[in-house]
Every structure is written in C-alpha cells, then in structure tokens.
C-alpha cells in the first residue's frame, strides 16, 4: 500500500527531513503474515512478527545522528500510553521502554526501509501509524503514514494463541471451509459450510462487531486496552454472535416459524449472514440455531487469528438447575412430555473450541477452550458461555472459569427417566451413559470426521468417569452451600422420589429390563429415506426361564434437535407372549402420508415402546431416534479450475417426494470461486423429478476450495451438497 504522507502537523525547517510517500509493502508483508488471502492492498499484520515499510523523502535522505524518527501507533477512540493503546518507539530505541520495535533495514539516497514489530501481547484491531521527525533538534514534524490492522499470531511462540503444529494452523486458522456434523449418534452426517473468513470486507465486519459490543459502548478505552487478551476477545465475540443482550449478529429461533426470516437449516455459509448484519446497520439476522451460531463464531475468531474449530456433541445435556441430572418425563404410552423445568437432552448441540493459553487458571488448563454462543443460560448476566478449559471439563474441575460446570453437564450429566401417571411420578431408570456421545469435529486437513470424545470425558462406565462425576457434583454442592442466595433457590438439588439419593450416584440403578428379565429393542428394516414409509420391528427377548406376558405401547412423534417434542402422530399396542428364553418380533410401518404432515425441519422422529409385564410393577422404556435422509445434491466441475479463467459447474438435484414441490430455490457459494452467493429460482419440481443447471464463474483464489449448495422448497428446506475443487494459479 502506497500512501502520500499527510501534510505536517507542525511547520518544518527548510533543511528538515520531509516524508513524501510511504510504501507499506502490503503484498509482501501480508504474505509473510498469512493474511494475503484477505488483501494485497491493505496492510494486515500479526503481533510479535516483524514487517517492513519504506519511507520516501522529498528533499534529502535520512541522516543518523542528525534526524531522530519516532513512530507512533494508536488504536481505539482514546489512545493512551498507560493502557497500551498508544505506543511511541524510535529507530534509535532511545525513546522510552516501549515494547514496540523499530529498526533500520536499508538507508537509501532518498528513502528509508524500516522494520517494525508489535509486541506479542498488543491489542488487536485497527491502528493508525504516525511518524514524528526531529531534525537538528529544532522543530518536530509529524506525519500520518496510514492505517494497518493488527491480528493475533498463532505462528508466534510468545503469543498466547500460539499453536506449534503447522497442519493444525492451516486447518484451524487458514482453512475457509469445513463440515458441521448433524443427525444423531447412529447416523452422523456432515453439513458443508463456507466460513469465508478471508472474504472481502469480513475483517472489517469482525472489527465492527467488536465495536458494537456492550463493553465498547460502556467503556471504549478499557475495551480496546483489553483486546490483547484472547480470553477477553472470545467472551466479547461469544456474546455478540447472539442478539439476546445486544445488536448481535443472529436471532435464535426454535419455534419452527421462520416466515419473517431464513430457516436456519437453509444457510450454507457465514459470509452472507455477516454481510447482511453489516448492510442493515447491525440489525440481527433472522434466524440461527446452534450450528449457525458456532459457524459464525468460527469465522470471526479465525479471521482475528485465534485457532478455532466447530464441535458437535450428540445427546447433549441441558441441565438448567445445576444438579448434573437431566430429568425426562414420559406418559403411560411412552411419549416424551414437554419439560416444565426445561431440562432436556439435545439430539445434537454445536459449540466452538478456541486455542489459547490460560494464565488465569492453574498450570495445565490451557489449550482448547469451549465457547458456546448459543443463548442457553446466562454467564455474569449475559448470554455467552466460556472459555471453559476442555481439560478442566474432563477432570471435573467445575469451579474454574468460565462456565465449566454448565459445560460439564453438556457432556457428562446423568439422565433420569420418570413415568407420569395420574399425577404421580415413578422413576423408570437412571442412565449414566446417555449424555455426551460421538463428540465430533472435522479432521486436520482431511474431510474425515475426528471423534474427540476422549478429550472431554473418561470412558463411560469406567471408575475414573464416575469419580470425576462425583467430584464435580460435590464441588457444585459445596459452591451452593457457600452462596446463601442459592441455598433455597431452584438450584437446590431435588431428592429423587424413589429415595435414590446422591450417595448412590456411583452405582447406576439396575435397568427395569434386568429386573423383569425382558429386553426390548428397535431395529430398522430399511434405511429411512424422506418420502418413503418407515419400516421397523420391535425385538422382544425373554431372558428368564419363566413365561412372560407383555403389553407394549408404541408411539411416534417428531422432535426438534434441542429435544423438544412435537405432538405424537402414530401409536400402536402389542400383546406379546414369550416362552422361556424366546425372542419374538413385532413389525411396524409408518406411512409417509402419516408422518409428512408432522415432520419438523430437523427431520427427527422418535419411536418409543413402553412395556409392562403382568407379574411386575416395573416398566421398560426403549426408544430410537430416526433421522430421515435426503438424496444429496451432486456437483460436477466441468474442466480444469484456474485462477481468472472461466469455469463451468454443473449442479444435479432432484425432488425426492411423490408429490409436487413449489418455491424451489437453489443456492450455491464457495469462497475464492464465487464473489457472492448464487441464488437460482427453480420454481416447481414434479414428483421424483431430476434436474440440472450449469453455472459459470471465474475463480479468483488458488488452492483447495469448496463449493456448497442447498435446495429448498415449500416441503423441504435443506437438501445439501458439496464438491472440493483445487484451483491452479495458471494453466
């Protein structure tokens, strides 16, 4: 970036040194600082790493001993030396003990190349660079050289976000696409996502997001001074992704009514959302759910230079009263009831991990930190969660900052099942294994799923896992007894009505099936495809040497991914007589015509069976979550992909249903391939109809890229597809 120096702020002597032009060497510096994907015209550098600029003089060259050059770097609306948002540092190093460094590289006849370096603890953000020139100890001339942006530096060992693996830095800072895992633990599917952190204007939107935070609005000087801390930045960004306390980026919506916005399932990338937020004067975009919040957070944090990944936890606990027990209630047909206490097990929940040192915690708790931007519970009165050390979660150190207790419950709470009958509650079973399964993230420089469950918990059922659970529970109880405001509140631990008190937590209760000696299990006959009937069997096995007479109530109901039940739409009753050690099957079928009207966007159906045996009061409850699958969009790249050369992309899609669908819209995007998201109005698709379109584009970035596509209609919202493309720099 070249810049003509602004007119001097004070009069200069004739023989004084005058700056005519400044070359920020943006293209070269940005390449060295891993920011060249953002821009080659603007200077974007990382702290703790040197960068070069050249000053061109009007009347003569720089003369050491005669000329003293002092650089000034300022950030924020109220730059101040004492809080680190203003720095003065000279070429000679004589001007005070500033941690910023300037040194002479080459001294030409009328130019001067200088090496500058911001300290690895400097506040990140937009800086103004000035220079004061003192010639012959006479008058001082001041010039504004221009603006630059300073970012976190995971390549710098002294930076608190330093990551010592280059493949991990490439994946968690540089990679601009990925997968967010959805579905259920038995059917995990990757949802392609365009993070686009290096797209044009995204860095400016990220800095605008910091300036719109409540912290900046209340005290901008303090906020800017604290921006050198990734702990602080991560909490600010986490609160700003949702809009519960401020004009954050996204409105959350779990109501199934999205008429005044976009269904969360339709999004395929962060760029369109962030650009809409900026274009509307920072009005929250409608709508998001957990994976969208986490994806936006990933984009912002990677853009700022903090290594970040997106994590999916299957069967994720939401424990609202802090007793590490998720209470679920069922009626006499085995249907899950709406929970008044709002405890729930989310089918999957998505959050972030950010990599940083934690000098505020005891040694050993740095590294990956959980951050959850989905507005679930408040932290210090605001809707954000974290950073919570992943190691602290695994070890049950729930008292450590921030929000570690809530994070622990998401992966390791116990689940208590209650039967509600005639106003009374009967405990069916306490399950220690339900919550926290198949914790997943995208593999490093791979499209494979990486299972990281062992980072969060010891093996389910192992002595260490129960020990950690008990330790966490005791720390929570101790914390509550010390707080008089919480002692009598809703956070007190309820005693289960069965009398199975806290002292028996280390011994999971016997399953009713163990007592009755009858096992029930669901099994799908065919893979569950959208538009087709669902066929399954109930397997009943008598494990005893006595005859068993069973009555089994079967139901089906749709679920939202946060565990909220929708009204049941199918039920059946089976009477099964079993001889000693006999197994029998009961066949079931739910027609598409019956379930289609009741299906949520999440395409989740919960089938359940509540069995009772004549001679026993025990009830046996089994269930199975079914995720209905769509046929994926197929994307073909026609020919070689080369920067600045036309490229044809074929997109094949189909209507999987046996009925007309209307209002079909295809969206296609991909960082480095399309300047903006492409929207193609398809209109009506006939039953089972296959169609294809060809799009033309001109790739503008080289390297590994990804195309993401989504097809929506009045009957479905999220038929997805993706294709990886390698773009060559030249033919």
CATH of the domain at 280: 3.90.260.10
Q: Which pLDDT belongs to residue 507?
A: 41
The answer to whether 476 touches 413, Cβ cutoff 8 Å, is no
Judge if the upstream peptide bond of residue 342 is cis by omega within 30 degrees of 0.
no
What lies within 8 Å, CB to CB, of 692 at 6+ separation is 650, 651, 652, 653
* 412 assigned binding-site residue: yes
Cα–Cα separations (whole angstroms), residue 481 to 491, 493, 604, 626: 11, 11, 41, 42
Question: Do 350 and 311 fall into the same domain?
Answer: yes
Residue 545 is assigned to a structural domain of this protein: yes
Question: Do 105 and 233 fall into the same domain?
Answer: no
Question: Do 336 and 466 fall into the same domain?
Answer: yes
Strands in 319-468 per DSSP E: 325-330, 344-356, 367-372, 385-389, 414-421, 424-431, 437-442, 449-451
Question: Do 144 and 176 fall into the same domain?
Answer: no
Q: Which pLDDT belongs to residue 490?
A: 33
Q: Which pLDDT belongs to residue 337?
A: 86
Question: Do 146 and 72 fall into the same domain?
Answer: yes
* 582 assigned binding-site residue: no
The answer to whether 296 touches 264, Cβ cutoff 8 Å, is no
Examine the fold and report which residue of 477, 504, 529 is the final residue of a domain before the chain moves on: 477
The answer to whether 699 touches 642, Cβ cutoff 8 Å, is yes
Residue 457 is assigned to a structural domain of this protein: yes
Q: Which pLDDT belongs to residue 333?
A: 87
Q: Which pLDDT belongs to residue 688?
A: 93
What does the alpha-carbon distance between residue 125 and residue 375 come to, in Å, rounded to a whole number?
Answer: 26
Residue 336 is assigned to a structural domain of this protein: yes
What lies within 8 Å, CB to CB, of 383 at 6+ separation is 239, 242, 244, 245, 375, 376, 377
* 465 assigned binding-site residue: yes
pLDDT digits 0-9 by tens, 643-674: 999 999 999 999 999 999 999 999 999 999 99
Q: Which pLDDT belongs to residue 244?
A: 77
Choosing from 349, 429, 561, 586, the catalytic residue is 349
Question: Do 208 and 345 fall into the same domain?
Answer: yes
CA atoms within 13 A on the CB side of 307: 25
Choosing from 372, 562, 602, 718, the catalytic residue is 372
Question: Do 178 and 122 fall into the same domain?
Answer: no
Give me the CATH number covering residue 608: 2.60.40.10
Residue 231 is assigned to a structural domain of this protein: yes
Question: Do 299 and 178 fall into the same domain?
Answer: yes
Residue 380 is assigned to a structural domain of this protein: yes
The residue range of the domain holding 683 is 634-727
What lies within 8 Å, CB to CB, of 546 at 6+ separation is 580
What is the CB neighbour count within 10 angstroms for residue 14? 6
The answer to whether 253 touches 264, Cβ cutoff 8 Å, is yes
Q: Which pLDDT belongs to residue 506?
A: 39
The answer to whether 718 touches 601, Cβ cutoff 8 Å, is yes
pTM score: 0.92
* 105 assigned binding-site residue: no
Closest CA to 550 of 514, 590, 586: 586
Q: Which pLDDT belongs to residue 500?
A: 33
Q: Which pLDDT belongs to residue 13?
A: 41
Spans of the chain below 50 pLDDT: 9-13, 484-508
Residue 509 is assigned to a structural domain of this protein: no
Is 331 an active-site residue?
A: no
Question: Do 312 and 331 fall into the same domain?
Answer: yes
Q: Which pLDDT belongs to residue 200?
A: 86
Q: Are strands 437-442 and 308-318 parallel, antiparallel or unpaired?
A: antiparallel
Residue 158 is assigned to a structural domain of this protein: no
Q: Which pLDDT belongs to residue 3?
A: 63
Q: Which pLDDT belongs to residue 363?
A: 98
Number of structural domains in the chain: 4
Pull the structure tokens for residue 706. Answer: 């990804």
Q: Are strands 583-590 and 604-613 parallel, antiparallel or unpaired?
A: unpaired
Examine the fold and report which residue of 426, 461, 477 is the final residue of a domain before the chain moves on: 477
Is 191 an active-site residue?
A: no
Question: Do 556 and 694 fall into the same domain?
Answer: no
pLDDT digits 0-9 by tens, 628-649: 999 999 999 999 999 999 999 9
Angle between helices 202-211 and 290-304 (to 10 degrees): 100
Choosing from 206, 290, 298, 303, the catalytic residue is 290
Question: Do 715 and 659 fall into the same domain?
Answer: yes
What is the CB neighbour count within 10 angstroms for residue 624? 18
Examine the fold and report which residue of 627, 649, 666 is the final residue of a domain before the chain moves on: 627
Question: Do 111 and 237 fall into the same domain?
Answer: no
Q: Which pLDDT belongs to residue 494?
A: 35
Is 372 an active-site residue?
A: yes
User: What is the torsional sign of CA 182, 187, 188, 194?
Assistant: negative
């Amino acid at each position: 970036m070249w810049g003509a120096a602004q007119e001097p702020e004070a009069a200069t002597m004739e023989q004084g040194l005058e700056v005519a032009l400044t070359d920020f060497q943006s293209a070269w510096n940005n390449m060295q600082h891993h920011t060249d994907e953002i821009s080659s015209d603007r200077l974007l550098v990382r702290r703790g790493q040197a960068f070069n600029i050249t000053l061109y003089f009007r009347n003569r060259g720089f003369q050491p001993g005669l000329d003293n050059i002092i650089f000034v770097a300022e950030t924020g609306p109220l730059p101040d030396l004492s809080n680190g948002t203003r720095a003065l540092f000279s070429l000679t190093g004589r001007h005070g003990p500033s941690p910023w460094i300037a040194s002479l590289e080459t001294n030409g006849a009328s130019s001067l190349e200088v090496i500058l370096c911001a300290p690895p603890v400097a506040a990140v953000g937009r800086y103004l660079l000035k220079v004061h020139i003192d010639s012959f100890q006479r008058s001082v001339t001041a010039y504004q050289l221009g603006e630059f942006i300073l970012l976190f530096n995971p390549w710098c060992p002294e930076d608190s976000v330093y990551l010592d693996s280059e493949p991990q830095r490439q994946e968690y800072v540089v990679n601009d696409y990925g997968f967010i895992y959805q579905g259920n633990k038995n059917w995990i599917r990757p949802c392609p996502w365009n993070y686009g952190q290096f797209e044009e204007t995204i860095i400016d939107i990220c800095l605008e997001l910091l300036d719109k935070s409540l912290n900046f609005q209340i005290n901008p000087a303090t906020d800017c001074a604290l921006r050198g801390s990734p702990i602080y930045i991560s909490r600010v960004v986490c609160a700003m992704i949702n809009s519960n306390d401020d004009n954050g980026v996204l409105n959350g919506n779990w109501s199934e009514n999205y008429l005044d916005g976009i269904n969360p399932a339709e999004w395929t990338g962060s760029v369109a959302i962030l650009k809409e937020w900026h274009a509307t004067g920072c009005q929250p975009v409608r709508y998001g759910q957990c994976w969208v919040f986490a994806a936006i957070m990933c984009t912002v944090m990677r853009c700022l230079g903090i290594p970040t990944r997106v994590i999916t936890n299957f069967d994720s606990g939401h424990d609202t009263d802090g007793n590490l027990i998720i209470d679920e209630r069922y009626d006499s047909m085995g249907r899950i009831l709406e929970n008044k206490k709002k405890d729930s097990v989310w089918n999957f929940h998505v959050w972030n991990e950010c990599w940083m040192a934690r000098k505020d915690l005891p040694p050993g708790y740095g590294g990956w930190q959980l951050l959850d931007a989905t507005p679930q519970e408040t932290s210090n009165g605001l809707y954000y969660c974290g950073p919570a050390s992943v190691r602290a979660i695994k070890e049950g150190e729930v008292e450590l900052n921030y929000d570690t207790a809530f994070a622990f419950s998401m992966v390791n709470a116990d689940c208590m099942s209650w039967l509600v009958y005639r106003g009374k509650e009967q405990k069916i079973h306490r399950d220690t294994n339900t919550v926290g399964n198949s914790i997943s993230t995208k593999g490093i420089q791979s499209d494979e799923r990486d299972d990281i469950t062992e980072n969060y918990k010891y093996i389910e059922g192992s002595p260490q896992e129960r020990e950690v659970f008990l330790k966490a529970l005791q720390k929570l109880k101790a914390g509550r007894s010390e707080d008089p405001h919480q002692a009598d509140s809703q956070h007190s631990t309820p005693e289960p009505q069965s009398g199975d008190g806290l002292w028996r937590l280390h011994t999971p209760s016997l399953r009713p099936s163990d007592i009755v000696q009858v096992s029930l299990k669901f099994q799908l006959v065919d893979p569950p495809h959208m538009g087709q009937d669902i066929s399954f069997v109930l397997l009943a096995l008598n494990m005893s040497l006595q005859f068993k007479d069973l009555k089994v109530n079967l139901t089906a109901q749709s679920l939202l991914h946060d565990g909220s039940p929708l009204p049941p739409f199918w039920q059946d009753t089976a009477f099964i007589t079993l001889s000693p050690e006999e197994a029998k099957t009961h066949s079931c079928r739910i027609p598409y015509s019956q379930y289609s009207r009741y299906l949520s966007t999440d395409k989740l159906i919960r089938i359940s069976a509540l069995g009772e045996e004549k001679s026993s009061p025990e009830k046996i409850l089994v269930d199975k979550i079914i995720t209905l699958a769509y046929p994926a969009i197929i994307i073909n790249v026609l020919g070689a992909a080369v920067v600045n050369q036309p490229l044809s992309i074929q997109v094949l899609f189909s209507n999987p249903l046996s009925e007309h669908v209307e209002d079909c819209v295809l969206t296609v995007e991909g960082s480095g391939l399309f300047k903006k998201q492409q929207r193609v109005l398809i209109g009506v698709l006939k039953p089972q109809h296959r169609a294809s379109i060809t799009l033309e584009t001109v790739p503008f970035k080289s390297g590994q890229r990804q195309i993401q596509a989504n097809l929506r209609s009045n009957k479905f919202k999220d038929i997805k597809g993706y294709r990886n493309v390698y773009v060559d720099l030249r033919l």
